[in-house]
């Protein structure tokens, strides 16, 4: 097996441990794969740190192109799944639904949830369909991610389906349903 010495770390490694580089005399990079990757990453970090605007723009454009490929989509979905399991993601989810410290604001939210739970007849604020008891959800009219507050005024009743599928945008309530009930 042909071997060569890495010019960066000095280790003697099999040729397969060097990236192919047709323009160089031996047909391979002078530095081994590990050293070459480290060098490329260091250069990239340096350029990002120097805040070269067009370099950043090119990197972002490349990311966007990659995200549209099947491989990129799969990687994105996997990363999202990993993120959802982190403590940070859990804390953000909790903050979205944490009851406010103000006693009056708290009481009004809890009262509303109880009313939604026990109402005989109730309709979804988004699709207008009547919701059976197990499918009743209380949702933010303006999503918290879009600046909506976690207050009674921003809560509406929604069916299970609408809470997962609705676009995150304010929705006009049908007449007579302004209160969500
Ligand atoms: Zn090396
Ligand atoms: Zn609905």
Domains of the chain: 3-50 (no CATH), 100-165 (1.10.30.50)
How many other β-carbons are positioned within 10 Å of the β-carbon of residue 139?
21
* Ligand that comes closest to the CA of residue 177: 2
- 151 CA distance to ligand 2 centroid (A)? 21
How many other β-carbons are positioned within 10 Å of the β-carbon of residue 74?
10
Give the pLDDT confidence score for residue 10 in this predicted structure. 94
- 147 CA distance to ligand 2 centroid (A)? 22
Give the pLDDT confidence score for residue 170 in this predicted structure. 43
The proportion of the chain whose per-residue pLDDT surpasses 70, expressed as a percent, equals 87
Give the dihedral of Cα atoms 139, 140, 143, 147; nearest 10 deg: -160
- 118 CA distance to ligand 2 centroid (A)? 18
Give the pLDDT confidence score for residue 181 in this predicted structure. 45
Give the pLDDT confidence score for residue 90 in this predicted structure. 83
Sort 126 into a burial class: Cβ within 10 Å, 0-12 / 13-18 / 19+: buried
Token code pair at residue 75: 């990687």
Give the pLDDT confidence score for residue 48 in this predicted structure. 78
- 2 CA distance to ligand 1 centroid (A)? 16
- 16 CA distance to ligand 1 centroid (A)? 12
Give the pLDDT confidence score for residue 103 in this predicted structure. 86
Given a cut of 50, the residues of the chain with pLDDT beneath it are 168-171, 173-174, 177-178, 180-181
Alpha-carbon 159 to chain mean position: 24
Give the pLDDT confidence score for residue 56 in this predicted structure. 79
* Ligand that comes closest to the CA of residue 11: 1
């Amino acid at each position: 097996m042909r071997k060569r010495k890495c010019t960066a770390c000095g280790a003697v490694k099999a040729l397969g441990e060097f990236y192919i580089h047709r323009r160089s005399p031996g047909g391979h990079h002078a530095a081994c794969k590990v050293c070459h990757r480290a060098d490329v990453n260091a250069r990239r970090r340096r350029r990002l740190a120097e805040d070269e605007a067009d370099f950043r723009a090119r990197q972002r454009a490349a990311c966007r192109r990659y995200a549209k490929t099947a491989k990129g989509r799969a990687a994105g979905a996997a990363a999202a799944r990993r993120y959802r399991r982190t403590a940070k993601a859990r804390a953000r989810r909790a903050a979205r639904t944490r009851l406010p410290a103000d006693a009056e604001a708290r009481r009004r939210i809890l009262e509303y949830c109880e009313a939604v739970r026990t109402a005989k007849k109730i309709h979804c604020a988004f699709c207008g369909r009547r919701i059976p008891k197990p499918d009743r959800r209380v949702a933010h009219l303006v999503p918290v991610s879009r600046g909506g507050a976690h207050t009674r005024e921003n809560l509406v009743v929604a069916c299970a389906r609408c809470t997962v599928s609705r676009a995150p945008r304010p929705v006009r309530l049908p007449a007579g349903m302004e209160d969500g009930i």
